[in-house]
Amino acid sequence: MPQDSSPLDVEDLRDRVHKELESFLSKQAPVLDAVGDEMQPFLDALDTLLRSGKRLRPAFAYWGWRCAGGDDCAEIVRAVAALELLQACALIHDDVMDDSDTRRGGPSTHRRFAAIHRSAGWTGSSDSFGAGAAILLGDISLAWADEMLYDSELGHEALNRAKPTYDRMRTELMAGQYLDLVEQARGGGSVERALRVARYKSAKYTIEGPLHMGGELAGAGTDLLQRFSEYGLPLGEAFQLRDDVLGVFGVPAVTGKPAGDDLREGKRTVLIAATEERCSPAQRHFLSQHLGDRRLSVGGIDEIRGVITETGALAHVEALIETLAARAQAALAGLPEPGQSVLRNLALAAVNRSV
């Protein structure tokens, strides 16, 4: 049984991360105000997006720091909070690319700006205005991420140790996203390629990277970093696989996304690739006709869910999640407390979540 962790548990850290983000945004407000009062909706949109979120990447980075012997302090919370700005960029731009309507239960950023355009009665296309504003908001969020990290006052040497990892994380995130675009365009069909997308887009960026960053900020040695990889990579893949399952079987009231969203988008995930590997010719024909149909009915969604279940693909992916999660947990043995327990709990939460 994981023991109880210190008062600095996951929820408390979430609040502190949020406060640091608020404080960073309020420092930027005068810079934007000086440009013009047109900028207010721009800052508001980012503020709204940053209010929600699981703060997973900051949590992994913070506990990477603690496991490497770093003491709790405001500076490390500020540094890890910067990862939420990087993630905000990824989400805002991802929603533009997928033309998604919703994010975290509210309208996606480009839809939000399209609505501002529409209600102001401005000229031109509301959708183009929305997409343009969202591209710029993602850009500013990406720029602010490193501004916040390097202004965290953790000290020049600590920041320098973590910089190569931070840089690689960003490069691999964008590369993974591009790989995903290519995979969608190819029409999927390969479990191996879908897993590679998951590794670059998610495992390295969501778990291994933040853990390494936190560890390196505290001066972690190669043994500990190796342990973080043994935990982070399988857990990150399991995390992405859980995402895939939720994208098909998730409950809208809980996920904040419409039912079967990924099916309407035709997302080429590991779950879908595993289904295609196990399909009868008739099922394959059915999938090719309905996957990616934006107006897929509730009945159609249920039928595809049926194929995913009957072929055994769902059971296969669930088993894979379990294997990967167990491998991740095994890598934690011997890590110092309370870090070990928190990382065990984070792993459980990452694979058992319903949102």
Binding mask 260-289 for a second copy (x = CB under 8 A): ------x-----------------------
101-132: b or e for each residue (b if 16 or more CB lie within 10 Å)?
Answer: ebbbeebbbbbbbbebbeeeeeeeebeebbbe
Q: Using the rule CB under 8 A, is 348 a contact of a second copy?
A: no
Choose among 31, 35, 77, 60: nearest CA to 207: 60
Residue whose token pair is 């595809």: 304
Can residue 186 be called a binding residue for a second copy (CB under 8 A)? yes
* Local structure of residue 121 (DSSP, 8 states): T
Q: How far is the CB of 348 from a second copy (least distance, A)?
A: 30
Residues in contact with a second copy, shown as a per-residue x/- string from 129 to 158 under the rule CB under 8 A: x-xxx-xxxxxx-xxx-xx--x-----x--
The mark string for 21-40 relative to a second copy (x by CB under 8 A, - otherwise) is -------x--xx--xx-xx-
Q: From 68-76, 179-187, 310-318, 339-347, give the range in contact with a second copy by CB under 8 A.
A: 179-187
Phi, psi of 143 (to 5 degrees): -65, -40
User: 224, exposed or middle or buried, with CB in 10 Å at 0-12, 13-18, 19+?
Assistant: buried
Among 74, 97, 326, 330, binds a second copy (CB under 8 A): 97
Binding mask 205-244 for a second copy (x = CB under 8 A): ----------------------------------------
Scanning the chain, the segments in alpha helix (DSSP H) are 10-35, 40-51, 56-67, 74-98, 109-120, 126-150, 156-186, 191-198, 209-217, 222-249, 252-255, 261-265, 270-278, 281-290, 298-310, 313-330, 339-352
Cis status of the peptide bond prior to 107, with omega within 30 of 0: no
Three-point CA angle 221, 322, 263, nearest 5°: 110
Is the Cβ of residue 142 or residue 296 nearer to a second copy in the bound state? 142
> What is the smallest separation between the CB atom of 5 and a second copy, expressed in angstroms?
33
Distance CA 307, CA 271 (A): 11
Question: Which amino acid is it at 337?
Answer: E
The C-alpha angle 51, 53, 54, rounded to 5 degrees, equals 135
Interface segment toward a second copy; rule CB under 8 A; list 15-23, 166-174, 213-221, 304-312? 166-174
Site membership for a second copy, residue 179 (CB under 8 A): yes
Of positions 123, 281, 282, 333, contacts a second copy by CB under 8 A: 123
Question: At its nearest, how many Å lie between a second copy and the CB of residue 169?
Answer: 9
| Smallest distance from a second copy to CB 323, Å | 24
What's the min distance (Å) between Cβ of 253 and a second copy? 30
- Residues 110 and 135: their CA atoms lie apart, in Å, by 8
Residues forming contacts to a second copy in the complex (CB under 8 A) are 28, 31-32, 35-36, 38-39, 42, 89, 93, 96-97, 99, 117, 120, 122-124, 128-129, 131-133, 135-140, 142-144, 146-147, 150, 156, 163, 167-168, 170-172, 174-179, 181-182, 184-187, 196, 200, 266, 292
